[in-house]
Structure 1
Amino acid sequence: MTQSPSIDRLSLNQITTDRWSLREAAEGCVRAGVPWISVWRHKIAEIGLSESKKIIQDSGLHVSSVCRGGMFPAATAAERQERIDDNKRAIEEAAELGTNVLVLVCGPSPDKDIAAARGMVNDGIEQLVPFAESHGVTLGIEPLHPMYAADRSVVNTLGQANRMAENYTPNQVGVVVDVFHVWWDPNVYQDIQRARGRIVGFHVSDWVVPMPDMFKGRGMMGDGVIELRKLRTAVEEAGYYGPIEVEIINQAIWDTQGDEVLATMKDRYIEHV
């Protein structure tokens, strides 16, 4: 039987305890013995980048990623440039917080032309690569489940993400494998192998039945149908041994006391991931 991953790889993706501020999340991780944290930009904005950096440094935590950049498609050239400028700020934030990964949620189409929107994503990434590389940051394309194609991302399979990323070197553009978004894909294991050397993030949660909410419907590991350990083994076989982020967007979990969430998260990580 495949062994559990080391706790040394466990990361709290901050959205899992969304009611916590960055300081509360950092202190919670320290109490729980969780060594990594993935920081969300709206939490950075609440207190500013310098204070965010100080909290991270004082806690001794490592930052696995900053979430999120992307959201490239827009109706006008001016709006698209605003998105590029915001992504540059996200790159600067990632570099300042000591992570080399900016997760890209690529964005929906501004109209019905989904192919054109995907072209805008490619154009946006191309514009960002030199700036990101100069800051030591890799752009991690995270494909989202097809049910989010209309409102969150037109990049919906790992195969798509691979094709986009392969235009660049692995240190410039990589892919993020989130089990919630890719578990269903009949090509997922071959696409994970295709991403060898290019995987910059691995996110875990579960797909529960019935799903309580399309956006806030992710479950705690072990509560759903995803073959978590099989997917984790696959990304390791493709060369990824970095931090494993627990990323759960779920109102009931948000309403649970944060320390309890982290305790459950650790137990389920050991048992199911």
Structure 2
Amino acid sequence: MKRFSLNQATTRGWPLPELAAGCVAAGVTQVGLWREEVQEFGVSATAELMRSSGLSVTTLCRGGFFDRPDWLSSNVTAIEEAATLGAPVLVLVSGGLPSGSRDVDAARAHIGESLGTLVPYALDAGVQLAIEPLHPMFCSDRCVVSTLGQALDLAEPYPAAAVGVAVDTYHLWWDDTVWSQIARAGAAGRIACFQVADWITPLPAGVLLGRGLPGRGCIELRRFREAVDATGFTGPIEVEVFNEEVWARPGLEILADTIEGYRRFVE
């Protein structure tokens, strides 16, 4: 359990104080947090809760959405929030096509330029930006970065301390080049975070909510873990699941099943 981290999305709706207490009781020492819930509870209050509970924050989700007019101020604020929480990584969901546009290449180029603007803020705060590629079905409206290779190409012009990538099994399991790209990311020191969730079928109507707890779907989760480990990455392994049936259950029950799935199918 030394590397296990509970991403807050997996137990959505579980109030932060209860999440912290539940993690402590279960021997979990690391959590990934989401900005909306943190802002609702209060950034400083959340930071104090994590410290007093002995919990480390592994990532903060999310920045990015470079297709929005306020992308710069929003991301600068997100970097500041991550620093306050002691989160070393801010996960970026890059955003889809701007309204009325069909130019995917231009959207990706804009992301690359925007990252350059954010690099000084990230370096000053000691926060690494993690470009997260999302499954291609989200390209139009959520993230034009669809492969790990694309994410690495965008990160490459900038220092690894400032810009890395997120390896998320749910979004990358389909890509036959992912293994060589994981090796490339590790060699460059750009694996900022590693997140696991399973792919379940049939997918629900809300495709984004089609993630399963480890072992409930078809992804070779251990193969991913072994590939990431082979690069020398020894950082946290976050379980991040979006699933309404999971969320309907009590937080402690979700956490127990998450830990069991992690031990059986990821470790």
TM-score bracket for this pair, using the shorter chain length: over 0.9
In 2, distance between residues paired with 1:72 and 1:191?
A: 24
What displacement does 1:29 show?
1.1
CA contact (8 A) 2:65 2:96 kept: yes
Task: Say whether 1:208 aligns with 2:196.
Answer: no
Q: Secondary structure at the match of 1:56?
A: helix
In 1, distance between residues paired with 2:17 and 2:74?
A: 24
Corresponding residue of 2:132: 142
Corresponding residue of 1:182: 172
Alignment of 1:231-270 (within 5 A): 231-270=224-263
CA contact (8 A) 1:175 1:200 kept: yes
Task: Say whether 1:226 aligns with 2:219.
Answer: yes
In 2, distance between residues paired with 1:30 and 1:254?
A: 20
Tell me which of 36, 51, 55 is aligned to 1:61. 55
Tell me which of 64, 84, 91 is aligned to 1:70. 64
What displacement does 1:21 show?
2.3
Tell me which of 157, 161, 170 is aligned to 2:160. 170
What displacement does 1:150 show?
1.4
Taking only the aligned residue pairs, the percentage that are identical comes to: 48
What displacement does 1:123 show?
1.5
Task: Say whether 1:25 aligns with 2:15.
Answer: no
In 2, distance between residues paired with 1:25 and 1:86?
A: 26
What displacement does 1:22 show?
2.1
CA contact (8 A) 1:216 1:250 kept: yes
Corresponding residue of 1:161: 151
Corresponding residue of 2:87: 99
CA contact (8 A) 1:200 1:240 kept: no
Q: Secondary structure at the match of 2:117?
A: helix
The one-letter code matched in structure 1 to 2:16 is L
Tell me which of 49, 52, 68 is aligned to 2:46. 52
CA contact (8 A) 2:63 2:90 kept: yes
What displacement does 1:49 show?
1.1
The one-letter code matched in structure 1 to 2:108 is R
Query: TM-score when scaled to structure 1?
Result: 0.94
CA contact (8 A) 1:129 1:172 kept: yes
Count of matched residue positions in the alignment of Structure 1 and Structure 2? 261
In 1, distance between residues paired with 2:21 and 2:107?
A: 40
Deviations 1:111-166 (Å, cap 9, x if unpaired)? Answer: 22222111221121110000110010111111000011112100000000111111
The one-letter code matched in structure 1 to 2:224 is L
Q: Secondary structure at the match of 2:129?
A: strand
Corresponding residue of 2:190: 198
CA contact (8 A) 2:112 2:155 kept: no
What displacement does 1:170 show?
1.3
Q: Secondary structure at the match of 1:195?
A: helix
Residue ranges of structure 2 left out of the alignment (5+ in a row): none
Corresponding residue of 1:34: 28
Corresponding residue of 1:10: 4
Name segments (4+ residues, structure 1) moved above 6 Å.
Answer: none
Farther off after superposition, 160-169 or 178-187: 160-169
CA contact (8 A) 1:165 1:173 kept: yes
What displacement does 1:201 show?
0.5
What is the root-mean-square deviation in Å for CA atoms of aligned residues? 0.9
In 2, distance between residues paired with 1:64 and 1:176?
A: 12
Alignment of 1:91-130 (within 5 A): 91-110=79-98, 111-130=101-120
In 1, distance between residues paired with 2:20 and 2:115?
A: 31
Residue ranges of structure 1 left out of the alignment (5+ in a row): 1-6
